[in-house]
A = this chain, B = another copy of it.
Amino acid sequence: MSDHVYKKIELTGSSTRSIDDAISTAIAKASTTLRNLHWFEVTETRGQIEDGKVAYWQVTLKVGLRID
């Protein structure tokens, strides 16, 4: 990391399966248009409830990408 500049963007991914999957979904989506994704940091974990169950998980994360 010693001679690069990084940008952090903030994304919210969702999944009907799990917290981990919501994160993976956001990263997979971002990587289709952005290159050089390096790390992420979770900033918020939420979800929607239907019929007494978690209908889907929503996780917000900051993603760091190197700008060349």
Residues of A within 8 A of B (CB): 1-14, 16, 18-20, 23-33, 37-42, 44-49, 51-58, 60, 62-64, 67
Contact = CB atoms under 8 A, between A and B. Distances in A.
A23 to B, nearest CB: 7
Contact of A49 (B13, B38, B57): B38
Given A8-B10, A10-B8, A53 B29 contact: no
Contacts of A45: 41-42
A16 B42 CA distance: 16
A49 to B, nearest CB: 4
B42 A46 contact: yes
B58 A1 contact: yes
